[in-house]
Structure 1
Amino acid sequence: MVNWVTDLMQTAGAPGAALAIALENLFPPLPSEVFLPLAGFTAAQGKMGLFDAILWTTFGSVAGALVLYWIGAMLGRDRVRRIATRMPLVRVSDVDRTEAWFLRNGYRAVFFGRMIPVFRSLISIPAGIERMRMGPFLAYTAAGSLLWNTALILAGYLLGDNWHLVEQYVGIGSKVVLGLAVVALGIFVVTRLSRRRDAASAREQHSDQLG
């Protein structure tokens, strides 16, 4: 993957970097913490301008986020609620609480979410589901992406041949974020199963008392 992106950037320059970052947005497992420092290193070699690298990768980030926004918009609130009713351990009330949280924090979530690995892509989907106004969505997405992209591209530019060190340190942050998400999911599942067992036990006790 790194070799492919390297060839893409050296062949197409900054627009190639934009394409790589757009794909990274659409497929979160692709690592921006590799692509962006690599773009900075490529700029340091004179294959593209530093400003061009920042500008084009931010454009790619916004383009990828916009595709995910429209995927969320096509799903829509009603369809998501119907999907929730078919998912084990998930209630429609969970969707309602998530929706209420997003309505309160939507703009902040989009801005700061653009700087959190993995979630930087996924945050665009609930924005689409809630049909966040397009102007603010694009503005907050561009601002958050600009900060993230600039930091990683500059790091790769300044580190030169050691640009890969950025991935090592940012990768630790990505693993921490994913680890916390897994822990949160585990707590949710255990809590929900425990509540179901307690409810079933209460029903059995009530039935025995009536009997």
Structure 2
Amino acid sequence: MLHIWIQPLVAQYGLYAVFLIVMLESAGLPLPGETALVLAAIFAGMTGQLDIVHVIATAAAGAIVGDNIGFMVGRRFGLPLVKRYGAMVGLDDRRLAFGQHMFARHGAKIVFFGRFIAILRIFAALLAGVNHYSWRAFLFYNAAGGIVWASAFGVGGYVFGDAVHRVAGPIGMIGLGFAVVGLFAGWWVMRNQEERYEREFLTKSEVDAARLPGDDQRDRDARR
């Protein structure tokens, strides 16, 4: 439903809309920031009215600013705030547990790749703050991830839009085909990665739930 009003916003307000929507999503609000980026990139490719470099830079800046807002909120107010109000923005107990598990296991990789995983995109920065992750490390990996994310989806959308613009000829059709295949392949890879992370989390949760009280202590005693 949100996608319906994203398109006219991007067409009318251009880079301002991209920055605002991506920033708010990154700060923790359930908005389609990725859709705004892709639509702006397609619009740039089809019309030439937006510079794709500016689109990518704006989306990356919005992602970095928003993520740092989310990080600071998580660090300042911590787990009690998330537990109390998280469900209002879709961060239920299951997603919270999943995010905490992923940070404990993967740390920097989650900060970098979190933007590419739907279940973590909105909440990765907030959870990094809640888990008191190093801000300097967060800023480095988050900025790198934001730039890669904006570049990948921006270039993909731009190529698609440019191919649509030139679709009248055979070369345009080939370009359009490559663009569609590339976008689908990117989506497929990210979706499989997301499912793998979810399976890993659920398996660990089931194992932890099956352990009897005192198992951890017995394991430590056995290793001595």
TM-score calculated relative to the size of structure 1: 0.67
Question: How big is the shift at 1:133?
Answer: 4.8
2:43–2:50 CA contact under 8 A, matched in 1? yes
**Which residue number in structure 1 is paired with residue 202 of structure 2?**
186
Give structure 2 stretches of 5+ with no counterpart: 85-92, 165-175, 216-224
Alignment partners' CA distance in 1, 2:42 and 2:210: 51
Q: Which has the larger radius of gyration?
A: 1
Alignment partners' CA distance in 2, 1:159 and 1:175: 20
Matches within 5 A, 1:35-184: 35-44=36-45, 45-76=47-78, 79=80, 101=104, 106-160=107-161, 161=164, 168-184=184-200
1:20–1:35 CA contact under 8 A, matched in 2? yes
Percent of aligned pairs with the same amino acid: 21
Alignment partners' CA distance in 1, 2:160 and 2:198: 33
The amino acid that maps onto 2:203 is I
Higher relative contact order (CA 8 A, sep 6+): 1
Question: How big is the shift at 1:189?
Answer: 3.2
For residues 23-70 of structure 1, give each alpha carbon's deviation from its aligned partner in whole angstroms, at most 9, with x where no partner exists.
3322467362x3332221111212321121011111111122122212
For residues 68-97 of structure 1, give each alpha carbon's deviation from its aligned partner in whole angstroms, at most 9, with x where no partner exists.
2123113437x59x99xxx89xx9xxx7x8
**Which residue number in structure 2 is paired with residue 12 of structure 1?**
13
1:10–1:47 CA contact under 8 A, matched in 2? no
State the secondary structure of the residue aligned to 1:118: helix
Alignment partners' CA distance in 2, 1:15 and 1:189: 42
- Cα distance change of structure 1 residues 186 and 141 upon mapping to structure 2, 3 Å threshold: closer
Give structure 1 stretches of 5+ with no counterpart: 200-211
Question: How big is the shift at 1:12?
Answer: 0.9
Question: How big is the shift at 1:8?
Answer: 1.0
For residues 99-120 of structure 1, give each alpha carbon's deviation from its aligned partner in whole angstroms, at most 9, with x where no partner exists.
7x47xx6445423434444324
Count of residue pairs brought into register by the alignment: 184
Alignment partners' CA distance in 2, 1:193 and 1:7: 48
- Cα distance change of structure 1 residues 173 and 31 upon mapping to structure 2, 3 Å threshold: farther
The amino acid that maps onto 1:17 is V
TM-score calculated relative to the size of structure 2: 0.64
Alignment partners' CA distance in 2, 1:133 and 1:187: 28
The amino acid that maps onto 1:57 is A
State the secondary structure of the residue aligned to 1:48: coil
What is the alpha-carbon root mean square deviation over aligned residues? 3.7
Alignment partners' CA distance in 2, 1:23 and 1:166: 28
